Amino acid sequence: MYGALWRVLPGPIWLKIIILLVLIAVVLYCLVTWVFPWIDGMLQSNEEGTVSV
Amino acid sequence: MHRVSCTLAITGLSARTGQRPLESRIVTDHEHPPDDLGLDDLFSSEGAEDLPGSSGGGGRRRRNGRRRGGKPRRRVSIVGVFGELLVTAGVLVLLFLGWQTWWQSGVLAAQQNSAAAEQSQKFLDQAKNEPTPTPTAVKQPDGTTKKDYGTPPVMSAPGAAQAFAVIYVPRFGADWKRTIRETVDVESVLNSYDAGVGHYSDTAMPGQVGNFAIAAHDTGYGNTFIDVSKLRVGDAIYIQTKDGYYTYRFRNMEYIQPNAVQVLYSVPQVKDAKATDRYITLTTCNPPYHAQERIAAFGVFESWQPLSAGPPKEIASTVGGN
């Protein structure tokens, strides 16, 4: 899978590495802004921190 | 490599000194054949596939060679892809855990802190032109005098999720402050990036006779009340509102069940009692990263002073700024 991705990337090795780094940055950004908060909201037990009956 | 350079050096030497080329020829004859073979082998089979643009010659030759050997190379195997997916999933879980602890505790805490500083500044700006009440000097038992501004004013309850106070607890950090919003709604108050602390809306307001009860997360979302269990008897809890600074002193704490609402009674833990004193109650989760129990920390009111009188000494450096 990742081997295929590496072969699909164009250009010399240094360009491939730069493209990969950019891809990783984009993926991380998406995870932190949307995916992780969403997962966190699903895991969160309701009313945490408060006292209620 | 060593051999090649050695050959060149000797050849060069022979050229410069004008010696018979025999010597160099001897060396070359001796050295060349194995080198030739080795380098050719290396570049044609190993390097060609990874070099861009050269996939035609070397790569194909290699593949053909492999096929002739009888074992075709599988580019994508299901097991291989499955394994890579599993590794990816593991990395994602680790990233999520790292995000939960680092991002939520560090980054959000800083965000909530600066939001509280802004809220505090708003109070100060609003109260800029208000007259300062004259305090009466009260002699303390230890001989010093203390300014007394009388009975603390009590604000009316604000609307849901509305910010109405800033809390300072020096024990949580010299610069620690958080905005308090009305209600303990999870989404709009406790999880908020610019609040973090919620007020139980059916309890007293700051300075009011009764129990001013607030709640916050202990871990996650800014780790707001993570240090509640570190409070010591007599630690100050300052509440700043549009009216002034309310000083409470921590008295004791209890580990309770999540449904132990008696800590929110106007006299904490005492049912149907009519309060004559002013209390504060901080509730949060326990243990860290779990929510099986709650901690309730109780304090009593000590004094009040208007905004125009300036902040209490202990928080003077952190009020209104960063």
Q: What per-residue confidence (pLDDT) applies to B71?
A: 55
What ipTM describes this predicted complex? 0.84
What are the extents of the domains in chain A?
2-41
Interface of A with B in 34-53 (CB under 8 A): 36, 39-40, 44-53
Q: What per-residue confidence (pLDDT) applies to B245?
A: 94
For β-strands B278-286 and B210-216, DSSP reports them as parallel
Confidence of residue B223 (pLDDT cuts 50, 70, 90): confident
CA distance to partner chain A, nearest, from residue B119 (Å):
23
Q: Classify the phi-psi angles of B70: left when phi > 0, otherwise alpha if psi is within -120 to 50, otherwise beta.
A: left
Confidence of residue B19 (pLDDT cuts 50, 70, 90): very low
Q: How many CB atoms lie within 10 A of CB B158?
A: 18
One-letter identity of residue B14: S
Mean pLDDT, residues A9-24: 93
Mean pLDDT, chain B, rounded, equals 79
Q: What per-residue confidence (pLDDT) applies to A53?
A: 65
pLDDT tens profile B166-202: 999 999 999 999 999 999 988 888 888 888 899 999 9
Q: Identify from A29, A30, A51 which residue to disrupt to test chain B contact, counting B C-beta atoms within 10 A and taking the largest count.
A: A51
One-letter identity of residue B157: A
- Look at B100 and A40 and tell me if their CB atoms are within 8 Å: yes
- Weakest mean pLDDT among B36-40, B97-101, B118-122: B36-40
Q: What per-residue confidence (pLDDT) applies to B44?
A: 42
Mean pLDDT, residues A21-36: 93
Q: Which of B50, B75, B283 faces A51 most closely, judged by CB atoms?
A: B283
Within 8 A of A1 by CB-CB distance, chain B residues are 76, 80-81, 84-85
CA distance to partner chain A, nearest, from residue B112 (Å):
17
pLDDT tens profile B98-114: 888 787 778 888 899 99
- Does the pLDDT at position B322 exceed 50? no
Query: Does residue B15 or residue B242 have the better pLDDT?
Result: B242
Q: What per-residue confidence (pLDDT) applies to B122?
A: 92
Q: What per-residue confidence (pLDDT) applies to B178?
A: 94
Q: A14 touching B, CB under 8 A?
A: no
- The token duo for B214 is 């607030």
Q: B85 touching A, CB under 8 A?
A: yes
Within 8 A of B220 by CB-CB distance, chain A residues are 40, 44, 48
pLDDT tens profile B51-92: 444 444 444 444 444 445 555 555 668 898 999 999 999 999
Structural domains in chain B plus CATH codes = 2-69 (no CATH), 101-315 (2.40.260.10)
Within 8 A of A3 by CB-CB distance, chain B residues are 75-76
- Weakest mean pLDDT among A28-37, B5-14, B144-153, B204-213: B5-14
Most confident listed range (B71-75, B217-221, B299-303): B299-303
